[in-house]
Amino acid sequence: MNTKDSNGYRDGELLKGLVAGLIGGLVASAVMNGFQQLFSRYVTGEDRSHGAQSLQTGTPEHGIGEVLAEQGVEDPKDDAAERLANAIAFEGFDHRLTEDEKRAAGTIFHYGYGASMGAFYGAAVEIIPAVTAGAGMPYGAAVWVGADEGVVPLLGLSKTPSEYPASIHAFSFASHLVYGLTTEAVRCGVRAIL
């Protein structure tokens, strides 16, 4: 029996939305990485297939980047997810990650973040269906503003937004539009099954 709670939601609907969004965010993270890899090869001729911040490299002179540099474990080629993995390993466990470990941990963080943002989106859709307006792209843009342009540089996981050229911001923005669009498409398909 599917009963409604005091807010008018059927039992389990929020959970179904969360699961559908989580799957959507996970798939969208993979699609976003593929988009970045293709775009990077086409525009720069380089393979930058890992991490959402792969073009936002360089040692931040503040926050986590500064701390890692002072400890001698900062690599300016690291993206934000790799830098976070390195900071946790070194500061929390006194372990210096190898390049392979850093790349693997950075990928896990990237996919974990993408999946969790998708889960949040899927749950939000169950409460406010209008969140799907724009086929998920406004949500992708909001994730870009909040993460790439906000929290990531604030923590020193990347340089400040003003230290990157407009082309890097445009690339990252487009990547997050792809993320939002894919999250919504997959969420919608999975939610129809659940």
pTM above 0.85, yes or no: yes
Tokens representing residue 62 in the block = 């503040």
Confidence bin at 7 (pLDDT 50/70/90): low
What percent of the chain is modeled with pLDDT above 70? 87
Instruction: Give the whole-angstrom CA distance, residue 155 versus residue 18.
Output: 28
* Residues 61-98 pLDDT 10s: 999 999 999 999 999 889 999 999 999 999 999 999 99
Query: What per-residue string of b and e applies to 90-113 under the rule 16 or more CB within 10 Å gives b?
Result: beeeeeebeeeebbebbbebbbeb
What was the pLDDT predicted at 37? 86
Q: Tell which residue, 2, 4, 10, 28, has the closest CA to residue 180.
A: 28
Confidence bin at 103 (pLDDT 50/70/90): very high
* Residues 138-179 pLDDT 10s: 999 999 999 999 999 999 999 999 999 998 899 999 999 999
What was the pLDDT predicted at 45? 65
- Which three-class secondary structure state does DSSP give residue 1? coil
What's the one-letter identity of residue 189? G
* Residues 15-60 pLDDT 10s: 999 999 999 999 999 999 999 888 877 766 665 555 444 566 788 9
* Residues 106-138 pLDDT 10s: 999 999 999 999 999 999 999 999 999 999 999
What was the pLDDT predicted at 193? 96
Half-sphere exposure of 6 (CA within 13 A, CB side): 0
